[in-house]
Structures are given as structure tokens and as C-alpha cells.
Amino acid sequence: MAEEVTNSVVGKIVDLLFSAAKREIDYIRNYTKNVNILKNEAQKLTDMRDRIQQRIHAAKENGEALLAGVQNWMEKADTEISKAGEFLEEEANAKKTCFNLRPCVNLGTLHHYSKMSINKTLFLLQQQKDGQTYESCVSIPTPTPRFVDLYQTKNLDDIDTHKLVLREIIEAIKDESIQMIGIYGSGGVGKTTLAKEVAAEVKNLFADNVFVTVSQTVDVKEIKNNVEKAAKRIINGEKVLIILDDIWETLVLPEVGIPCGNNYMNCKILLTSRRMDVCEGMNVDRNICVNALKKEEAWVLFRRIVGDEKLANDSSLEKIAKEVTEECGGLPLIIQAVGNALKNKKIDIWEAALDRLRKHAPLEIAPEIRKAFTHLKLSYELLDSKEAKLCFLLCSLFKEDGIIDMLSLAKYGVGLRIFENLDSIHDAEKRVRMAVDTLTSSCLLLSEPGDKVKMHDVVRDVALLITSSSEGEEKEKFLVEAGKDLTEWQPRNRTSDSYTKISLMDNCIEKLPDHQLHFPILDTFLIGSNDLSIIPDDFFGGMKEVKVLDMSLNNITSLPQSLKLLKKLITLNLNFNTYLNEISIVGELKDLEILKVRGTGIKVIPEEIGQLNNLRLLDAGECNDLSDVTPSVISKLTWLEELNIGTEKKNAVSRLGLMEISNLKSFRALHLLMVPDDCHTFPEGTYFEHLKEFSFRFWHIKTSFSEEQSKLYLKRLLHITMSDFPFKMPIKKLFQVSDGIVLVAIAGLDNIIPDLYGESVDELKSIELRDCENVSCLVKIMNEDATQSFVASNDLKLGQRKTTKEKYFSQVQQIFLKYLNNLKLLFSCSVQYISLRNLQVIKIVHCDSFLMVFPLSVAQGLSNLRRIEILSCDSLMVVISGGDEQTTDNDIEFPKLTHIDLLDLPQLKSFYSGDSTVKYPSLEFIDVKICPSMKRWGSGVHDMPKVKFGDDPEILNLFH
């Protein structure tokens, strides 16, 4: 029995030993196989990482927030790939030694590397498994700024009528038993302004604030789109404020996507309407009337607009001004319009204006408009600028409460010849901005973000009255049916001798009359943003005087034959007719100066376009299928000033005929989109750096950009994505003359100076760096003598020594830094070389090694800084450091700083680490969240007279 047990045990031991021996032998026998598997899996993980990296870049381009964990996965993937690479390199060297330098193979070496290959392969496989989630999704959309975050509050001091109503509305909103509040009052009394003031004051009480303009024509789909996200938050139990502005008829809120009723008391709804019965019809819980201003309040507001000093110095003028104010009926809209119209006029103009204001408006118009008509028409008539008057009338062609693009006004204005002695398209854009400035300062237009404006509905009604009854000086008559949900247009009369402009924009028109219409003096026809697929061939035959034709944002597949009859056409907009791929007929329009085919389906710019000898602007941006421009077309456009174009094909400069630009005497602006590879093959001798305006974007065309982006702020923008540093000389020349740079995922770049620039940084106004892993600072000059070592190249004077009078970044207005994991400081140099006197905004996000923003002496020069945003920087300890040895006076003042946002900064100790006085005379908002190490704002004295701290304990504790 014992013998059997012994034999059994021995047998098991032998089996184990044999299995172990076999496994060890297999390591040696399968050495090559195991190493090759490791190589393959390392390559698979590398490919997976690169695919996910591309998704990350695309997500960041779209402003989306990365999913939790994806950045950590990328870091782990990089580590595993790096380890595998180092191991394989070590294995290759050992293999050479083992097989080439020794008389026999070292079995121990083979065993070691085979076994290690298997172990490392397991890590690679696990990393691939963990990354499968991110191959399909790496991000979530980030919310756009709420209207309440952009709204600038008004001065209501001594305007008790509005202050009392404001308090009443806020009390109603805070009352948990009240869900819906109505504000009613006449047009121009200030309802919309009060609603926005309320939203600004109570924004901290709500997870979200939504502002929707309803208007006379209710667009249910648009309302649903605007409230969709807020509705989801309401259903999830979050508190949300929804403002429905300018309601003309009863709305059933659930039908427009707004949850309400006893089950959703977390939703507060604020309505504004001109009519009390509309509010009552919607069963509001509290109805609040906004009355016209009292006589003394109207006088306070009028004095603010005209200027106390001007009135105090002239008793005769003050007497007339009081009478003018009384004629305005206590309506803020009219008070502001009339005050702005008269404030710079002589007293005889004031007297004449008072006489006009005492006359009644036409009796046939609606009572709501009658009161405003005379006053607003006076403001229009008192405009000194004919261009401003014409721009004002053009604005009435857009739909009610529509956002009006200034660039569109400029293009229409060029076609209508409203600008005398026009030098260029660029000059037209400047002239429109001047006209709009005049109109906004006169309260005839409202400013909107991004080179856009809007018309108050009362003002638009007056403008339409002027243009529909030939009341204006220009004796023009408009037919405006914009934004009325029309599905077809069938004018009753085929002939009209009176209309000069027709606007059918922003409807749902699918069909036009299949016969000729006779409009003998029509100069403008706007039918953009509809559902047209076909324009009848004879349609334009009776409109031969048309100079401006806008058919953008339709589904047009081909152009009608009657188009070539419009021999006087100057501006033609065919943008975003994505199925339109043939435009040869446009070559018949010899007077054409502006041709816009952005976002169409064209594949080539045909040779017929070369016949347009008067063409000033050709916009063919975002044409995804465009691959070529017919040779010699560009050189034939002798008056061409501006070209917008792009392609996904390589060698864009030759494919698009861009070398022909150098022969055009008037050419000034090129907006070009090319694939990233082209930045390293950009040819010598293109001379693009001499252009007055350009945007070169080396990225993929599918990541679209709008024409407006390149116009708003920067005139010479260079944007390069996913490329390698160093850049060759043609591109380096563009860096020297650019006023804005955007660099995304540039491998090998360490800094801005001296890597990209030597001394020539005088033009730079905006810096944006994202995902440039090697960037450690913006300026790296280790000692003063280093400035002498910059190497001059291609006659760029980069080698001259910098003096203290010539400082880096003195023109920079914006700095945006995101996902720079190696960034530690902005400046690794003596601060005597740094001046940020024009910096307005600095935003730093997800720079995990970043330690400090500004040294003291740089902070003391931030005289124009308006906003600081620092988000999710794991290592940041202080925003402004204490003193330095070069500074004796350590006091700081930020005269224009209004916003400071500090979010998710786990190591931040304080805003300022010194003990001196810091003054913030304009600071209004401080937002500090998820900064657990920050126990105080800073020592010393911090003077913040305008900050409203509210009841946020996280901020209050910093100032105890």
C-alpha cells in the first residue's frame, strides 16, 4: 500500500516536473513566435491609440469634453507601447550579440526574452480590451454659454418703476407655490430687458436658464429645439427657468416641449407679452404689469443718454429736452432712440424735432405702432449717414427677431451700390460696421455677439411701415414675407411696377410660380433658407433689373436658364445648395462682383467663371467635392480681391491655381483650407505673406469653419493641426506675419520663442495651443545673452539682440492653452523681455503640470486684462506669485478685469501669494469651484468694490 502511494506521488511529481520542463522548453522553442506576437500586438495597440487620438482631436476641435478615463487610458497606452518598444529594441540588440558574437546560442537569453514577450503581450491585450469603449466614443458635448452669462446688466438707479417690478418678479420666482409669471406692457416699455435682468439676478438659483423669443409667427419646432435640453433637466428634477419672450397668442406649453404643472414645479416659466389677456389665457399664477416710466424717471434716463453736462451748460436746451422727453411717453425704447438721435445735434435741430414729435403718426396704422412711429421715424430721419439709413431699411428684409449678419449686409450693399466711392469689398465691410455702430448707438439696432445685429420688433414694424408706404427718402417699396412659414409663393398680380425689394427668406417654400413675373424695377430678390429644389426656367425673365439675388440654403439642383438674363446682377449667393454641381451658366453674368458657392456640390471651378472680369469675391469654401480650378481661370479674374477655397486633395496650391494670384493687382485676401501634409510642402515663391488678410488652415475640410470666423477679429490667421515641428521656411515666413496662430497636436514643439519666432512677434494678437505634448513654456530664454544666438534665416532678421524697449507679446490680446501636459510656466526667461499690456483674455485648461500663471512684475502690466479662466490644472499652486528681486513697488491694479473663473484646481493655495495691495475696480464676478486646497484668496489688501459675493460659502470663506 505504501509502495503504491509512493509510486503515485512520485508519478505526480514527475508529471509536474515534466510539464514545467516542457513549458520552459516551449519558451525557447517558441521564442521567435512569441516575440512576433508581441510586435503585432504592440502595433495593434499603437493603431488603436492613434485612432482614439484622432477622435480626441476631433472632439476638442468641436469644443466637447472628454469622457472620464480616456486621457488616463491614453497615458497607459503610451506607457505600454513605450515599454514594448524598449523591450523589443533590447531584444534585438541581445539577439545580435547572441547570434553574431558568440560561437553558440545562449539558451538563457532566448528563454528570458520569450517569456517576457508573453508577459508584455498580456498587458497589451488588456490595454486593447480597455480601449474598445473609446474607439466609438471619447467625448460628450459641452454646453454653449447661456444667454444669462453674456448679458450685461443695466443701471436701474433712480428708475423705481422698473426696480419695483424687478423685485416683484424675483419674489414671485422665489415663491415655491408659483410656477408661471406673466409680464405684460406696451411695446418698447422694457419687458424684455426686465426679463433678462431677472435671469441675471437669479441665475444661481437654477441649474439652467433658457431664453426663447416667440414672436408673432410661432415656430414650434424652433421652440422645441431651444428648450429640449432644459426639458430633460426638468424631468430629472433640476430647477430650470424658461423665459418665453414676446408672446402674441396663447401657447400650450407641453405642445412646445415644456414640462409644466404640479408634477414639474421645479420648472419656473416667465412670459412677456404686449397683451394681458394672452398671459391670462395661459393661466399664469402671477400677472405683473410693466408701466411706462414716470416723468422724473424718464428724465433721468434721457439725461444719462444725452449727458448731464451738455444739458447743465445750456438752460434753453434743457427746457427743450424736457419737452422732448415728455413726448416719448415714458417708453425706454423711444427715449433711448430719440436721445441718441439728438444728443450731438444743434439746438435748432432739437426745436425742429420737438415740432415733429408733436405731430401725430398716420391713423391707419396699429395703435401699438402709432405711438412709436413718429419718434422712431424721427430717429431714422436724423441719421447723418445715408449709408446708415439704407442699412437700416435693409435690416427690415430679415425675419422678425432674426439675427442679421453684417457680412451679408455688406454683400447686399455692394450689389445695391449704397456705398459711394467704394475701394474694395473690405471697405464695404468697414462701412457697414460704421453704419451699424451709428444704428446701435441710436438704439435702432441691437448688438449681438459675433458681428451680428438684431432689430427690436417695434423698430422693425416702423421700418416696414416706411418701406411699404414709400415714407422713406429713398421712395422704395418693399414686399417682406420673411419668416412666415409660407410653403409656396403665388403673388396675386403677375405685374408690379412699384416693388424694389422682395424678401421671402426663412420660409418653407417648395414651389415658385411656373410662369414669368414682371417686376420691372425690382433690384433685390431674397429667397434664401427655403425648401426649393427647382427654379422654373422662365422665372427671372421679368426681373431684369435685379442686382442682388440670394438663393442660399435651399436644395436647388440646377440653375434656371433665365438666370443669364440678369445682366445687371452684381451679388449672387448660392451658398449651401449641396446638390448644385454645375455653375457654368454664371459665366454669362458679366457684371457680377460677388459670387458665393460655399458648401455646394461643385467639383471644379469651370473655365466659364474666367469670363467674370468684374468679379471681386469668389467664395468656394466648404465645397467637399471640389478638387480643381480650371487653369488660367484665377489669372483672368483681373479685379479679384478675395478668394475663399479649400480641398482635401494634396498639393492644393497647384490644384487650385493659387500661383496665379501673384498676377492680380487688386488681390488682398485669401482664405484657404488644405490637408495637414501640405504645410510641409508649401512652395517657395508664393508671396502669400504679403497679403493684407489671410487664413491658412492646414486641417481636414470636414471640420468646417464659417466665413465669419476669419473676419471677426484676426486678419492673418495660421492654423495647423496634427503636424510635426520644425516647419520649413515658407510656412515659417507666414508665422512671422500672422496676427493669430492656432496649433493643435504639433509634435516636437517646445515653445513659441525661439522655436517659432525670433524677434518678429510684433503682429501677434492671439495664441492658441492645444494637445502639443512637448510644449513646456511660451518663451524659453535661459539667460540674457541667449537673445544674441537666434539664427537668422532667409533674410528674416531673427538675430538682433532684443532691448528692454522691445518686449515679447506686447500686442497679444488672447492666450488659450489646452491639454498641454508638459506646460509648467508661461515664461522660462527673465521677465524684462515680457509685456502683456494688451492681453484681454487668458484661458488655461487641462494643463496638468502647470504651476503658476503670472509673476508679479508681469501681472503689474496687465492694464487691459478682462478675464482669467483657469480650469482643471492639477498642479497649479498660485495664479500670481509674490514678489521678485526686480520689483520694489509690489502693488497691483487690474483696471479692466471683470471675470475670474477658477475651477477644479486641487493644488491651488491662493490667487495671489504676496502681501501687497491688489485693486480690482471693475471686477464683478468671481467663480471658485472644486479648489479644496484654497483656504484664502490671498494675504494683503484686496479691493473689490463691484463684486457681489452672494451666498456661495466656497467664495465667502476665502475672504473671511
Q: State the Cα–Cα distance between residues 772 and 820, nearest whole angstrom.
A: 6
Supply the angle between the helices 107-136 and 31-61 in degrees, to the nearest 10. Answer: 30
* Nearest-angstrom CA–CA distance, 94 and 100: 10
Which stretch of 110-124, 311-325, 366-380 has the lowest confidence by average pLDDT?
A: 366-380
Does the pLDDT at position 378 exceed 80? no
How far apart CA 565 and CA 560 sit, in angstroms, is: 10
pLDDT per position as a tens digit, 27-61: 667 777 888 888 888 898 888 888 888 888 777 76
Query: What one-letter code names the amino acid at 893?
Result: E
Minimum mean pLDDT among 120-134, 461-475, 626-640, 933-947: which range?
Answer: 461-475
Here the cell at position 38 is 508581441
Residues in the chain, total: 960
**How far apart (Å, rounded) are the C-alpha atoms in residues 202 and 241?**
9
pLDDT of residue 584: 96
Q: How confident is the model at residue 700 (pLDDT cuts 50, 70, 90)?
A: low
Q: What is the pLDDT of residue 108?
A: 66
Work out the percent of the chain whose per-residue pLDDT is above 70. 86
Whether 714 shows a pLDDT value over 90: the answer reads: no
Phi and psi dihedrals of 250, rounded to 5? -60, 130
Per-residue confidence (pLDDT) for residue 575, from 0 to 100: 96
pLDDT tens per residue across span 436-453: 988 887 778 888 877 899
Direct distance between the N- and C-terminal alpha carbons of the chain, in angstroms, rounded to an integer: 87
- Under a CB-based contact definition with an 8 Å cutoff, are residues 334 and 378 in contact? no
pLDDT (0 to 100) of residue 787: 44
Per-position b or e across 156-167, b if 16+ CB within 10 A of its CB: beebebbeebbe
Buried b (16+ CB within 10 A) or exposed e, 90-121: ebeeebeebeeeeeeeeeebbbbbbbbbeebb
pLDDT of residue 549: 98
Max mean pLDDT among 337-351, 641-655, 901-915 falls in: 901-915
Average pLDDT value for residue range 601-629: 94
Characterize the bridge pairing of strands 814-818 and 841-845.
parallel
**361 vs 228, more confident:** 228
CB atoms within 10 A of CB 131: 19
Q: How far is CA 733 from CA 683, 692, 757, 795, 806, in A?
A: 12, 14, 10, 10, 20
At 698 the three-state DSSP class reads: strand
Q: What is the pLDDT of residues 479-506, one digit of tens each?
A: 999 998 899 998 876 667 789 999 999 9
- Please report, as a single letter, which amino acid is at residue 268: K
Percent of the chain whose predicted confidence (pLDDT) is above 90: 37
The one-letter amino acid code at 845 reads: V
pLDDT, averaged across the chain: 83
* Whether the predicted pLDDT of 539 surpasses 60: yes
Q: Please name the amino acid found at residue 256.
A: V
The mean pLDDT value for 691-702 works out to 79
Residues 933, 929: Cα–Cα separation, whole Å: 11
Q: Decide if 615 contacts 642 (C-beta within 8 A).
A: no
DSSP 757: -
Give the mean pLDDT of 394-399: 95
- Can you list the positions of beta strands (E) in 56-149? 65-66, 139-140
Flag the least confident range among 181-185, 230-234, 359-363, 713-717. 359-363
Lowest model confidence (mean pLDDT) among 164-173, 178-187, 884-893, 897-906? 884-893
Beta bridge partners, 845, equal: 818, 871
Q: Return the pLDDT at 427.
A: 92
Residues 553-603 have pLDDT tens digits of 999 999 999 999 999 999 999 999 999 999 999 999 999 999 999 999 999
pLDDT of 366: 59
Burial of 507 (0-12, 13-18, 19+ CB in 10 A): buried
Q: What is the mean pLDDT of residues 325-350?
A: 83
**Confidence tier at 13 by pLDDT (50, 70, 90):** very low
What is the predicted pLDDT for the residue at 101? Answer: 43
Pairing of strands 452-454, 446-448: antiparallel
Q: CA-CA distance, 22 to 136, in Å (whole number)?
A: 42
Which pLDDT score, from 0 to 100, does residue 869 have? 94
The per-residue pLDDT for 619 is 96
- So what's the pLDDT on residue 25? 66
Q: Are the C-beta atoms of 73 and 130 separated by less than 8 Å? A: yes
Interatomic CA distance for residues 395 and 456, integer angstroms: 11
CA dist., res. 653 & res. 682, Å (int): 8
Q: Choose from 137-151, 192-206, 542-556, 642-656 the range with maximum mean pLDDT.
A: 542-556
User: Cα(474)–Cα(453) distance, rounded to whole angstroms?
Assistant: 23
Distance separating alpha carbons of residues 48 and 613, to the nearest angstrom: 52
Local confidence band at 363 (pLDDT 50, 70, 90 cut-offs) = low
More confident residue, 373 or 418: 418
Nearest residue to 482 (alpha-carbon basis) of 507, 462, 510, 509: 507
Across-strand partners of 779? 753, 827
Quickly count: other Cβ atoms within 10 Å of residue 663's Cβ: 11
Task: Report the interhelical angle of 332-342 vs 315-327 (nearest 10°).
Answer: 150
Map grid coordinates 420737438 to a residue.
354
Give the cell for residue 785: 545673452
Q: What would the pLDDT profile of 208-250 be if each residue is shown by its tens digit?
A: 889 998 887 888 888 898 888 889 989 988 999 999 998 988 8
Cα 171 → chain centroid = 35
Q: What is the pLDDT of residues 912-944, one digit of tens each?
A: 988 889 999 999 888 888 899 998 898 888 999
pLDDT for res 775: 94
Cα–Cα distance, 145 to 562 (Å, whole number)? 46
CA 325 – CA 311 distance, rounded (Å): 13
From the list 164, 171, 179, 189, the residue with the least C-alpha distance to 242 is 179
- Report the alpha-carbon distance of residue 675 to residue 651 in Å, rounded: 9
HSE-CB of 306 using CA atoms within 13 angstroms? 30
As a whole number, mean pLDDT of residues 624-653 equals: 90
Quick one: pLDDT at residue 909?
93
Among 616-620, 672-676, 865-869, the minimum mean pLDDT is found in 672-676
